[in-house]
Each structure stands twice: as structure tokens, then as C-alpha cells.
Amino acid sequence: MADKVDVLIKRLDPGLPVPAYAHPGDAGADLVAAADVELAPGERAVVPTGVAIALPDGYAAFVHPRSGLGARFGVTIVNAPGTVDAGYRGEIKVTLLNTDLRDTVRLRRGDRIAQLVVQRVERAVFHEVTELPGSARGAGGFGSTGGFPGHQHSQEGA
Ligand SMILES: O=c1ccn([C@H]2C[C@H](O)[C@@H](COP(=O)(O)OP(=O)(O)OP(=O)(O)O)O2)c(=O)[nH]1
Ligand SMILES: [Mg+2]
């Protein structure tokens, strides 16, 4: 059986369910909207979920978009994945964005709008140096390996 972690949860709206995993083995527990929301094309809104949590030290929760909302309606999360810190006791909120150029999206209270992934996280101890150790990648990034449709691979500008 996979590792499990106990997370305290407080319902701020007793009429709504606590986050739930749809299937065994799912990484994300679905979060619901605590209010109706209407998003015009290109519009975003901070949507309450009706829950607050207390994570153990050494954990964080990440608010991920749902692929179905993205594929069907173009609804995503502006700051995906949102980070819920272990010390945060406020309501979890989701900043939804309607990326569709034509259609307004209407979501109802109780609709599943995002999914919460709880993960262990490390705290870094930053050691300042003047030179970093070399690596195979070096400073290449932002498409340095090419592979874009219709474009030739180029080392320039990497
Ligand atoms: O999608 C999100 C992202 C964040 N939060 C909450 C939990 C998190 O612990 C807190 C702060 O988030 P973050 O550090 O990303 O925001 P910030 O803009 O840096 O605000 P702050 O200055 O409060 O840290 O807001 C959410 O409810 N949903
Ligand atoms: Mg912050």
C-alpha cells in the first residue's frame, strides 16, 4: 500500500464535501467550488473551495488544474500548480482562468474545479558559491534541444 499522510481539514461550508480521491491510486483529491462562478472569455476569478487544511511540517499541497475542464472548456489555473504551505490556515482558493476566446464558462457551486496533490517537500539550505560545478546541460534551456514543429534545430540563441 502506498504511503499515507494524515491531513487535518476544516469545512468552512458544511454543505460541501471534503476533498475526495475519485479512484484508488489517484494523486489528486478533487476540490469543489464554494460559489457559482461565471468566466467570460479571458476572464479569471479567485474561487473559494470551502476548505482549510493543516499539513504536517515537511509537506505542501499543490492545486492542479483538471484536464477535463481544460480540454472541454479551456479552463485552467493562472498560477498552476498553486502552492499551499504547511503553515497556511486560510481557505484554499483556486484562481481559475477561462482561456477560451469565444465562450463564457459557467461553473456551479459544488462543481469539481481543481485537484489537490499532497507531497513531501524538502527545505533547501542555500550555500552561496562563486562558481557552480559543470554539467552536461550547462546553461542550455528554453528550447536549446530543439524539436519544435517546422523549425530546424539550432544551437544559436540557446
Ligand atoms: O492556488 C493557491 C495558491 C496559494 N494559496 C494559499 C496557500 C498558500 O500558502 C498561500 C500563499 O501562496 P503563495 O505563496 O503562492 O502566494 P504569494 O503571492 O507569495 O502570497 P504570500 O505573500 O502570502 O506568500 O495562499 C491558495 O489557497 N491557492
Ligand atoms: Mg508566498
pLDDT tens-digit readout, 7-52: 999 999 999 999 999 999 999 999 999 999 999 999 999 999 999 9
Whether residue 77 is predicted with pLDDT greater than 60 in this model: the reply is: yes
CA angle 97, 100, 102 (to 5 degrees): 130
Residue 85 known to bind ligand: yes
Contact (CB, 8 A) for 65 and 76: yes
Residue 105's pLDDT is 98
pLDDT the model gives residue 158: 44
pLDDT for residue 157 is more than 90? no
Global pTM value: 0.93
User: Which of 79, 84, 106, 81 lies closest to 95, judged by CA?
Assistant: 79
Residue 153 has pLDDT above 80, yes or no: no
Atom in ligand 1 nearest the alpha carbon of residue 114: 1
The protein residue whose alpha carbon is closest to atom 1 in ligand 1 is 82
Distance (angstroms) between ligand 2 centre and the Cα of 148 equals: 34
88, 115 in Cβ contact below 8 A? Answer: no
pLDDT, mean of residues 66-81: 98
**84: CA distance to ligand 1 center in Å?**
6
HEC assignment per residue over 37-100:
EEECCCCEEEEECCEEEECCCCEEEEEECCHHHHHHHCEEECCCCEEECCCCCCCCEEEEEECC
Task: Give me the interface pTM, i.e. the ipTM.
Answer: 0.99
Ligand 1 site, residue 88, Cβ cutoff 6 A? yes
Region 136-146 average pLDDT:
96
From the CA of 60, which ligand is nearest? 1
The annotation status of 67 as a binding-site residue, yes or no, is yes
Residues recorded for the chain: 158
Ligand 1 contact, 93 CB (< 6 A): yes
For position 151, what pLDDT does the model report?
A: 72
Look up residue 30 and give its three cell numbers: 478533487
Instruction: Determine if ligand 1 sits within 6 Å of the CB of residue 116.
Output: no
Q: Decide if pLDDT at 156 tops 90.
A: no
pLDDT of 78 reads: 98
